[in-house]
Every structure is written in C-alpha cells, then in structure tokens.
Amino acid sequence: MKRITYNSPDKYKAVSDAILKETGTISVLFAGVGGQGILLATGIMARACLFEGFDVKVSEVHGMAQRGGSVVGSIRFGEKVFSPTIDFADFIIALEESEPLRYVDNLKKDSVLIYNTYRIYPTTVYGGSCNYPGNIREMLLKFTSDVFPVDAYKIARQQGKSKAMNVVLLGFFSNFLPISTDSWENAIKDIVSPTILEINLNAFKAGRNLINNF
C-alpha cells in the first residue's frame, strides 16, 4: 500500500503516523561513508525522539569499519522498542549517492528513501577495478516509488560548512516525522558544540524547507 497520498496538508508526516499505527515502531537506517557524521546524525535524532517522549534505540558499529569504509547506523522509535537493529527499514537516509544501493535488501515496497546526491568515490573506483554506478535514481525506483534525491552539499555550502550535509538531510527528513521543531532544535543544541551551533541550526532549517521543491 502506498502511504504518501500527496493531497493532505500533512502529507509527509502522515507516512510515519501510518507506520506507528500499523507496527508501533519506526525503523530508520542511516547509510554513508566513514567520516560523514552518521554518529552525529543518529545521536541528534535519538535525542529528538527522547524529548518527544518516545522510547528509542540506536545501533552503530565502531572499529575496523570506520577506516574509510561503508558505515551504517540505525534508529528505531515508538512507544516500546525491542531490537536495536533493523531488518526492513521504513526510511533509508543515505549521506552519499551510491550507498543506498548497498541496502536494497533492507527495503520494503513502501520504504521512503532519501539520499544525498553528493558522491565519494571508493578506492575501488579510483583504482580502476570498478565503475561508479550511473542511473542510481532509476535503479532505486525499481524498489520504491518514494525516492527523494537531495543536494545537501549545495545547501550545506550555502550555510558555510560542507560537513553539515548530515544535518541538512536530517532537516529534510524531519518533515516525515512526528517530532516537533522544538525537540529537534533542543537535540541539536544538546549535541553540537556551541561554536558551530548556529550553522547547524540553519542547515537543519534549510534542509527542512527543501521539501517545498518536491
């Protein structure tokens, strides 16, 4: 069943309301490359969920995977969460363009997929043994119709910090979630260091406003 109906005023938030009603738990998978700030993104979102009164669990992997490899983290929230890990994701948020392709096994027919169009070429592509895939959007559309490419790099640059791509994507994603702007902002204030707080708050807002482009 397709959840986005594009006619209600709260059409994007309606997606997560429907999932919560149906399964009680929302599962989000964050994908990216070591160094892109997945831990920060999941950390902010987990606090926002907590401030909103949800039970929440986060899962992350440290160690060997951090050395420039693919990195994945997950968040689940709802009234009561059991497993911290995800088999099938309601949302996949990818911080790099090709990374969502790696997690097609975690997709369902009605998963919502948000991905950054920013590319980081792996050494296997630089080394010439592999090609970077083309037609990423077309490939993703084979699995779900709710695919949202976002140019988070451009927005983050406009805010003065290209590293803030993770927060731009969080801002865009926030349109889909039953979490108030206050909770998001408090979570960002809680985690981000004061020196870069304003840039991150602005990056979040700019990301949130991107929804008007769709």
Partner 1 sequence: MEKDVVILTGNEAIALGAHEAGVGFASAYPGTPSTEILENIARSGNIYCQWSTNEKVALEVASGASLAGRRAIVAMKHVGLNVASDPFMTLAYTGVNGGLVIISADDPGMHSSQNEQDNRYYAKMAKVPLLEPSDSQECKDFIVKAFEISEEYDTPVLLRTTTRISHSGSVVKKSKARNQETARTYSKDSMKYVMIPAFARNRHKILLEKFEKLKEFSDKTDINKIVNLKDKKSFCKIGIISSGACFQYASEAFKDYPILKLGMTNPLPFGLIEDFVSDKSLIIVVEELEPFLEEQIRASFLNCKVIGKSFLPGYGELNVEILKSLNKFIASENILEFIHEHTLKDLENKIKKFKEKNSYISGNKEKNDIKDSVKKTIPPRPPVLCAGCTHRPVFHILKKLKVMVMGDIGCYTLSVLPPLDSLDSCLCMGAGVGQALGIEKANDNYKNKVVSVIGDSTFFHSGITSLIDNVFNRGTGLVIILDNRVTAMTGHQTNPGIGSTLMGEDTHMILPEEIVKAVGVKNIRIVDPYDVDLLERTIKEELNRKELSVIICRQECALINQKQILREFYIDESVCKKCGMCIRIGCPAIGYENDKYFINQAICTSCGVCSQICPWDSIKANEENNL
Position 65 contacts partner 1 (CB under 8 A): yes
CB of 211 to partner 1, least distance (A): 27
Residue of 64, 194, 212, 213 that binds partner 1 (CB under 8 A): 64
Nearer Cβ to partner 1, position 131 or 193?
131
CB of 100 to partner 1, least distance (A): 10
Task: List, in order, residues 6 or more apart from 162 with CB less than 8 Å away.
Answer: 153, 156
Position 47 contacts partner 1 (CB under 8 A): yes
Residue 98: which of 138, 136, 139 has the closest Cα?
A: 136
Position 46 contacts partner 1 (CB under 8 A): yes
Alpha-carbon span 7 to 29, nearest angstrom: 27
Alpha-carbon span 39 to 36, nearest angstrom: 9
Binding mask 163-202 toward partner 1 (x if CB under 8 A, else -) reads ----------------------------------------
93 SS3 class: strand
Residue 204: which of 166, 178, 177, 161 has the closest Cα?
A: 166
Position 60 contacts partner 1 (CB under 8 A): yes
Nearer Cβ to partner 1, position 119 or 205?
119
Of residues 99 through 138, those in contact with partner 1 by CB under 8 A are 101-102, 104-105, 121-133
Nearer Cβ to partner 1, position 78 or 207?
78
Alpha-carbon span 73 to 94, nearest angstrom: 10
Burial class for 199, CB neighbours closer than 10 Å (0-12, 13-18, 19+): middle
Residue of 22, 68, 158, 182 that binds partner 1 (CB under 8 A): 68
Q: What's the one-letter identity of residue 84?
A: P
98 SS3 class: coil
Applying CB under 8 A, which residues contact partner 1? 33-34, 42-43, 46-47, 50-51, 53, 55-70, 81-85, 87-88, 98, 101-102, 104-105, 121-133, 139, 142-143
